[in-house]
Amino acid sequence: MTTTPQTRPGGTLTTAEAMVRAEGVRKNFGRLEVLKGIDLTVTSGQVCCLLGPSGSGKSTFLRCINHLEKIDGGRLTVSGVPVGYRQRDGRLHELREREVAEHRRSIGMVFQRFNLFPHLTALENVTEAPVRVARRQRAQVREEAMELLDRVGLADRAHHHPAQLSGGQQQRVAIARALAMKPRLMLFDEPTSALDPELVGDVLDVMRSLAEDGMTMVVVTHEIGFAREVADTAVFMDDGIVVEAGSPRDVLTRPQHKRTRAFLSKVL
């Protein structure tokens, strides 16, 4: 594990280590090879933006990180622990569902289609996992949940059901729900692509403030402006491989690769 001093946009200097490390990660769906050997490191406290054309495997890779998909080859670790396996006697033992669930608690995920629980209110969406999974005191969880909802600007909507909220509001509740488990890592899969343009800003603001607080984030996004401004590394994926990775300034402004240039010329 390499330890390098890291400067955050917020200006704080932290000692950083690899939060996510992927080495030659492969994944197939049947005969379709979706990930063909992904190499990627996300340092603790950093924001990594994944970009790439549709079908390049961005979502699949993100889902592999919290074991919603099982990898078929390579090595993938979160905080040095292999995802979905336990290393013992030089072998990787597959984890039980229970143990995988334990693992996922420290990884928050935000989905393109929000996936809020429609039968629960915004507040109940946020309190569900801390109460049922982490088995914490309900009163204290509620208090924290209200603070989180306040942070995403939705304290006044706490008792609304998802159907009574706009897309942007739902996505901010979804972020609060993920944060309630106090994750070390947050994964975002195109969090703004299902939103009307005027609602995108509120969600990006919340994500920006998370980044400023030093949350480690992997963000699949088509928001080039956000990537340029907030990301520490930008990664361009195409056809199941990482084509180009580096500082957003390099990758987004002076792309080395033809494929990156072609993609950027389309989205900008």
Ligand X SMILES: Nc1ncnc2c1ncn2[C@@H]1O[C@H](COP(=O)(O)OP(=O)(O)OP(=O)(O)O)[C@@H](O)[C@H]1O
Contact string 153-172 vs other proteins (x = CB under 8 A): ------xxxxxx--------
Q: In angstroms, give the least distance from the CB of 63 to Mg ion.
A: 9
- 244 contacts 236 by C-beta, under 8 angstroms: yes
Q: Does 221 bind ligand X (CB under 6 A)?
A: no
Among 33, 41, 68, 79, binds other proteins (CB under 8 A): 68
Count of residues binding Mg ion (CB under 5 A)? 1
Among 56, 59, 127, 169, binds Mg ion (CB under 5 A): 59
Q: In angstroms, give the least distance from the CB of 173 to other proteins.
A: 12
Q: Does 182 bind other proteins (CB under 8 A)?
A: no
For Mg ion, the closer of residues 57 and 130 by Cβ is: 57
Q: Which residues bind other proteins (CB under 8 A)?
A: 66, 68, 97-98, 101-105, 107-109, 111, 113, 115-121, 124, 128-129, 132-134, 138-139, 142, 159-164, 174, 177-178, 181
